[in-house]
Amino acid sequence: MITIKKAENLREYRELYALRSKAHMQEKENSGSSSLSAEKNEKDSFDSFAVHFVALDPKREVIGTVRLIADADSPQGLPVKYHPGLFSSHFSTLHSAEISQFAADKRIKSENLFLSLFRAVYQYCVKMKIVTVYLNLDEECLNLLKQMGFRITVMGRTERFQYHETLPAKWDMADVESHLRLKNSKIYSWLHQNARFAEGEGDLMTILHPAYSSFFDIHPLSIARG
């Protein structure tokens, strides 16, 4: 059984930073770059102000992680403001937050882990009454959210930032809630259910197919820019 939760103890924090470092090194190997470096336990100055979510395997080891940073909690603001590919300098700081630093154990299908972690983060945003959600994620993650019906606004171009190739983007929570409630009630209901890891022929597979691409056959989609 996979458990999705907020990181709460020193071991979980140590393992999530190590997993992020391992993911960074894997990117380095895949790109063939020799100019990139990784810390043994990857951590940046924003991590102290973030809420970290983790996926734990049956041995209680961290196999996936993502973080949420509320603008109100970070003296430096949100990391996405410093993204080198950013086109727009306009940010709504009132009740805003950023989702970033997704990493997954390469032995587990990353789409499964991302969606399970994402649902926990989404529910936390609803609970905390977040109005604007900024994204600092790779294009694969953004395309997956787009396929689920999220109306995402891209705010720049893909650039290497905080050890990873990411694309700055955002969505409005009220717009997403109303759009999904009207246009895809199954996705809306899934997002508001108790977070449960969907592996294999899980509940999300039924929701995404055939109206959307298969959960296990994600294809790039165009994302409206603005």
- Residues of the chain with pLDDT > 90, as a percent, come to 53
Domains of the chain (ranges; CATH) run 3-208 (3.40.630.30)
Residue 35 has pLDDT above 50, yes or no: no
Q: What is the pLDDT of residue 162?
A: 79
Q: Which of 120-129, 145-154, 197-206 has the lowest mean pLDDT?
A: 197-206
Four-residue CA torsion sign, 152, 156, 160, 161 = negative
Answering whether pTM is above 0.85, one says no
Q: Tell me: the pLDDT tens digits for 176-225?
A: 999 999 988 888 988 888 755 444 334 443 444 433 333 333 333 333 33
**Residue with structure tokens 């990117």?**
27
Q: Tell me: the pLDDT tens digits for 50-66?
A: 999 999 988 999 999 99
Q: Is the pLDDT higher at 209 or at 69? A: 69
Q: Which of 24-33, 106-115, 153-162 has the lowest mean pLDDT?
A: 24-33
